[in-house]
Structure 1
Amino acid sequence: MAYDFVIGVDVGKYFHHACVLDPQGRQVLSKRINQHEGSLRKLFGQFLADNTSVLVIVDQPNNISRLTVAVAQDMGGRRSLNKN
């Protein structure tokens, strides 16, 4: 399945880092974001729309990624968890 955007989120204890790629693999966004729901919704809202297909990849196997996953799912993003 092809996606309009892939959003990778490296979840940290105090902040996250997000990287967004377009279908050609070009980096559209790379930035540090705060670790709270409003910041996550603002990030995902920039790329999630009615006609877009977005994959959200969360790099954090522990409990601190729960909010990121929950917000992405609530906003309609498909998700993948990296459980290294």
Structure 2
Amino acid sequence: MKCSTGKYSYMSQELAETALVDQHIYKGFRVHEGPQNVYECGICGYWHLTSKAPTRNERLQQMHDSGEMKRKQEASRWEHGL
């Protein structure tokens, strides 16, 4: 579902965070690339991803810090034969 801002909308913060993590895994973003956090939209009331956040999403940061993100990205590359 899209908002009038043109951004894809997520029904909850949890769904938006899952989409954020999934994008980093499947698109292979580096730590400072791609969307960095989620926010509740003042226009539609749903949740969006943003690359312009002053801070990185805590769940995303923990995955990068622990090495989990790198492992999942590598597994995704193998799954897709890249």
Calculate the TM-score normalised by the size of structure 2.
0.29
Calculate the TM-score normalised by the size of structure 1.
0.29
The answer to which structure has the higher helix fraction is 2
